[in-house]
Amino acid sequence: MRKGSCCMFTSGVVGAVLLIVGIGLFVSGLFQTLIHNKLKREITLTEGSKVFTSWMNPPPPVYIQFFFFNVTNPEEFLKGEAKPRLTEMGPYTFRQYRPKHNVTFLDNGTKVSAYTVKSFVFLPEKSVGDPKVDMVTTVNIPAVAVINRLKGVGFWVASGISMYMGSIGTTLFMTHTVEEMLWGFKDPLLTRLKTIRPDTDEYFGLMLNKNGSDDGEFVYHTGQQNYLDFGRIFTWKGEKMLSLWKTNQSNMINGSDGSAFHPFLSKEERLNVFTPDLCRSIHMRFEKEVEVKGIPAYRFTPPRAVLASGKNNPENEGFCLTPKKCLDDGVLDVSVCRKGAPVVVSFPHFHLGAEKYAEAIDGISPVHDRHQTFLDLNPTMGMPVRAMKRAQINIHLERVSGFPLTRNLNGTIFPILFLNESVVIDDASAARIQKLLLIVTLVSHFPLVIMALGVILLLVCIILVIRFYQNKVIQPPRTAYNSEHPSNQSEHFNNRLATSLQIWSSHFPKTP
């Protein structure tokens, strides 16, 4: 067999084999299954692993921004002459550190318990204003909490307490620095109350005792038994369910704490996140595809149904503890887990809420991109690459018999502040994830590479065959003339020509 034929045969056979093998591997998904199984084994909370190290002490910086609502017309509002007029102050930005402590593996490594200790450091370069200097006028939350606890005590008792509150200068609005509002100040009403009830804390602050504290013990699934359980909460404070709400569904502790999700997420998934600040679980749905530092991600957001009223979403019926006073869409009464204080939680500026809440207050205007909560997750790794957790703290202001200060209140949900807790993956982690995703992509698409090589070799074989038949021209029969060397053929022709001329000239007479 000649060399050309051998090349054609080899390239054709090898190309066909590679093509068949590639198609078989692609259809069976063997390589994709292998790499997926590898990642499922690697993405677990195993002591000493990179995943475990990042989970214990997340490298990306977490920031929390506070935006206060300053009341500019408190007297007009209390007289019933105007809607409250608010101006937004901030942000006041803090770096949040949240390492996990007292980490203990349980049940042969299938579960792990931990405490997440949070601490905060003020960042003036990322803030607008000085929290030690800036003053904010807002609802007197301690006073409203006390009044709310005294509902139903009787008119004369309430009137006496109201007069006493007036004598020490307590009103429904107060003015303090931003730092005092966040981290605490000594309240005169609470100080008087402490003399009657010694267990009363005479200090009040929205973040009082939060710096250096934790939310209690969490027990998580490590994902060793089932990759779908990676990061899922097993118990909180020793309980598998809450006991705050009316229904079992409302009391369920579902999903993760928002810092870890299982790999290979789909767009159809309903992601559950338990939030201790809300004393409940919420769910998130896929919104769109995004990209963060070169990493593809799915954006999941809480739909309108999360904070919808029980009337519009039966799943939320258990969150209303007083059926005749259920709130409308977009707000959640969490007084049950705030020591009776009439605290109501919503998204900032009542985003996704009933229009009446925003319309009742001047200075409130929800903007989707600025007030939306979302999680950007890489679907392959299940890793958060960017997150914005936004929530607003409000106070429910109602008329209470015996307290003249409340006579013009009509159930206003009054905004105090909103916060934005944000995180974006750091550059080093992003580079590592990009490299890992590239490897996953190459391995998963290896059958396509084999198929491509097979197609290329088959094309080479076809080209060789075509060229072979183009060069194979039918040659004329070999003769004495055409078989000679070209120079010999020319000499032979010249000799024959001279002979012919001699014969031709012999037929003519010679001239004298």
Cα of 66 vs its chain's centroid, Å? 21
Q: What is the pLDDT of residue 508?
A: 44
How far is it, in rounded angstroms, from Cα 453 to Cα 459?
10
Q: State residue 107's pLDDT score.
A: 94
pLDDT in the model for residue 474: 46
Give ∠ CA 272-275-279 in degrees, rounded to 5: 115
In a domain, 473, yes or no: no
Q: Is residue 198 part of a domain?
A: yes
Per-residue burial over 6-39, b if 16 or more Cβ lie within 10 Å, else e, is eebeebbebbeebbeebeebbeeeebbeebbeeb
- Scan for tokens 């490897």, then name that residue: 439
CA–CA dist 69, 181 (Å, integer): 12
Instruction: Please give the pLDDT value at position 184.
Output: 97
Q: Domain for residue 388, yes or no? A: yes
Straight-line distance from the first to the last Cα atom of the chain, in angstroms, rounded to the nearest whole number? 74
The pLDDT assigned to 30 comes to 58
Give me the phi and psi of 437, to 5 degrees please.
-65, -35
Q: Six-digit token pair at 170?
A: 């307590």
pLDDT at 512: 41
Closest of 100, 411, 383, 104 to residue 262, by C-alpha: 383
CB 177 within 8 Å of CB 131: yes
Q: Tens-digit pLDDT profile for the chain (512 aa)?
A: 455 566 655 655 665 655 565 555 455 455 566 777 787 888 899 988 889 999 999 999 999 999 999 999 999 999 999 999 999 999 999 999 999 999 999 999 999 999 999 999 999 999 999 999 999 999 999 999 999 888 878 888 888 888 989 889 899 999 999 999 999 999 999 999 998 889 899 999 999 999 999 999 999 999 999 999 999 999 999 999 999 999 999 999 999 999 999 999 999 999 999 999 999 999 999 999 999 999 999 999 999 999 999 999 999 999 999 888 899 999 999 999 988 889 999 999 999 999 999 999 999 999 999 999 999 999 999 999 999 999 999 999 999 988 988 999 989 999 999 999 999 999 999 999 999 888 877 766 655 666 666 667 667 666 766 766 666 654 455 554 444 455 555 555 455 545 544 544 454 444 44
- The single-letter code of the amino acid at 485 is H
Distance (Å, rounded) from C-alpha 512 to C-alpha 506?
Answer: 15
In a domain? residue 24: no
CA 477 to chain centre: 82
CA 381, 384, 388 angle in degrees (round to 5)?
160
| 322 within a domain of the structure (yes/no) | yes
SS3 462: helix
pLDDT of residue 16: 61
Residue 383 sits in which domain range?
43-425
Query: For the residues of 371-403, what is the DSSP string, one character each?
Result: H--EEEEETTTTEEEEEEEEEEEEEEE---TT-
The answer to the question of residue 51 being in a domain is yes
| Residue 29 falls inside a structural domain | no
Q: Are 114 and 148 in contact (CB under 8 A)?
A: no
Query: How many domains does the chain fold into?
Result: 1
Q: Under a CB-based contact definition with an 8 Å cutoff, are residues 30 and 465 in contact? A: no
Nearest alpha carbon to residue 348 among 393, 388, 308: 393
pTM: 0.82
On whether residue 83 sits in a domain, the answer given is yes
